[in-house]
Amino acid sequence: MLEILYLLLPLSLAVIALVGGMLWWAVFSGQYDDPDAASQSILLDDDRTVSNISFKRK
């Protein structure tokens, strides 16, 4: 009955390692740097139409 633990325990550790790695990547790619930025970015969008084509965006 307990044999299943040999599979489940390493599996759970692997999942934790995966989630931890994803968290690491998300934080160091700057996704959590400014929690306000995400909600404002849609409002502070660059609405110019001409300049987008004729100039390179920053």
Residues that bind other proteins (CB under 8 A): 1-2, 5, 9, 12-13, 16, 19-20, 23-24, 27-28, 30, 32-37, 40, 43
Q: Considering beta carbons, is residue 9 or 52 the nearer one to other proteins? A: 9
Q: Considering beta carbons, is residue 32 or 48 the nearer one to other proteins? A: 32
> What are phi and psi for residue 20, nearest 5 degrees?
-60, -40
Structure tokens at 53: 């084509």
Query: What's the closest the beta carbon of residue 50 comes to other proteins, in angstroms?
Result: 25
Distances (CA, A) of 37 to 22, 30, 31: 21, 11, 10
